[in-house]
Amino acid sequence: MKVMELPRPSPETLKEPVMNTPAPTAKIFEGVATRPQMFRLFDRHNQRPDQWQIDAAPLYRGEWFEIDEALYDYMLDILPPLWMRGPIFALREFLTGSVTSIFFALRIDERIRYFHGYCDLSDPASVEAMRAAIFERETQPVRAMTREERLEHIWSSTADAYRGYAGDRFPPAMQGKRTVMLWSGTNGTILKLLDDLSDNEIAAKLPVHMRHLPVIAA
């Protein structure tokens, strides 16, 4: 599909203030997402409480994960992109506010790899910041995961029936935070805050091939 490069939308067009610093980025899934996984990852905060009253942009912007070439081409062919600059293009349909999907084809260690990320286009530096963050993360000499990446992978890969948000059974300070269900053995199934999982609980929730990856600092 031949696509004409379109100019970057201006902050005035998007009617959002320009951000002074790029939003932090977060790898939310380890490995290459399949088609069903990709569509789940697009809206992994769909169960959030008060989703129609709270601005969702801070939840999504900066999140990224890897896909394959077929999915990259599929997303490019769905609709003409908002713009395309070389191997990077923006989805025309915005997720929320000025946040939309950006797809990257990056040469890393002598091969082309493909990624999806949510960028806030009210920040002119957001796309380049995302590209640089992906490149820096994926060129590390040793395969490893931070604690935060392990928690995000658990959240991303847990079925909706087994993840949610703390309700009125939790103290007020904890309400609204993400929760996952665990099997505790003698106590059966328990609900626990995602951020409070112990190292052993994290290991138990990860696929076997990820459990022994080194832990690196965020």
Q: pLDDT digit string (tens) for 88-125?
A: 999 999 998 899 999 999 999 889 999 999 999 999 99
41 and 114 together in one domain: yes
Average pLDDT of 11-34?
66
167 and 81 together in one domain: no
Q: Is the pLDDT of residue 36 over 60?
A: yes
120 and 186 together in one domain: no
- The domain in which residue 63 lies consists of 11-138
CB 130 within 8 A of CB 62: yes
131 and 45 together in one domain: yes
pLDDT in tens, 179-206: 999 887 777 788 899 999 999 999 989 9
204 and 168 together in one domain: yes
Residue 184, pLDDT score: 74
**192: in domain:** yes
**152: in domain:** no
**1: in domain:** no
27 and 88 together in one domain: yes
Rounded CA gap, 179 and 71, in Å? 30
131 and 166 together in one domain: no
Total domains, the chain: 2
132 and 200 together in one domain: no
CB 191 within 8 A of CB 121: no
43 and 105 together in one domain: yes
Residue 87, pLDDT score: 95
Q: In whole angstroms, how far apart are CA 218 and each of 58, 148, 152, 200?
A: 19, 7, 13, 19
Q: Is the pLDDT of residue 4 over 50?
A: no
Residue 58, pLDDT score: 85
User: Hey, what amino acid is at 177?
Assistant: K
Residue 215, pLDDT score: 73
**123: in domain:** yes
- Select from 83, 103, 138 the last residue of a domain: 138
168 and 114 together in one domain: no
28 and 101 together in one domain: yes
Rounded CA gap, 114 and 130, in Å? 13
**55: in domain:** yes
pTM flag (> 0.75): yes
**52: in domain:** yes
Contacts (Cβ under 8 Å, ≥6 apart) of 112: 69, 87, 105, 106
Question: How confident is the prediction for the chain on average, in pLDDT?
Answer: 85
121 and 65 together in one domain: yes
